[in-house]
Amino acid sequence: MPTFSTLPIGEARARSATGKRAALLQEYVGYIERVGPGEAGKLESGEGETTQAIRRRLNAAAEALGKRLEFRRTADAVYFWASDGRRRGRPRKNPVE
């Protein structure tokens, strides 16, 4: 008998996609899932990769999982961690409750 479970749509899309781009997305989803609370991940750019491309792929994988990440880039590496969800800048005048 089959086993039933529910999951967010973004995660279902990320896990059921096919092709080269989907394989790359799965790789980056794996990187994000390996970083625990209070930890940061570090990805170093390889041959022919840029830190901008790594950041873009991480952001796409995070969106598919429904997570928000913060990034810091150096010349050859990207550091990332889970965002606490707070917005930067001046607070809104009329906050939505």
CB-based contacts of 81, cutoff 8 Å, min separation 6: 35, 39, 40, 41, 69, 70
- Choose between 73 and 89: higher pLDDT: 73
Question: Alpha-carbon distance 97 to 92, whole Å?
Answer: 12
Query: How confident is the model over 12-40, as pLDDT tens digits?
Result: 777 777 778 888 888 999 999 999 888 99
Q: What single letter denotes the amino acid at residue 50?
A: T
Q: Is 97 domain-assigned?
A: no
Helix (H) or strand (E) holding 93: none
pTM for this prediction: 0.72
CA distance 40 to 32: 9
User: Which comes out higher in pLDDT, residue 2 or 15?
Assistant: 2
Instruction: Tell me the pLDDT tens digit for each residue of 54-84.
Output: 999 999 999 888 889 999 999 899 999 998 7
What's the pLDDT score for residue 39?
A: 93
Split into its structural domains, the chain has a count of 1
In a domain, 90, yes or no: no
40 domain residue, yes or no = yes
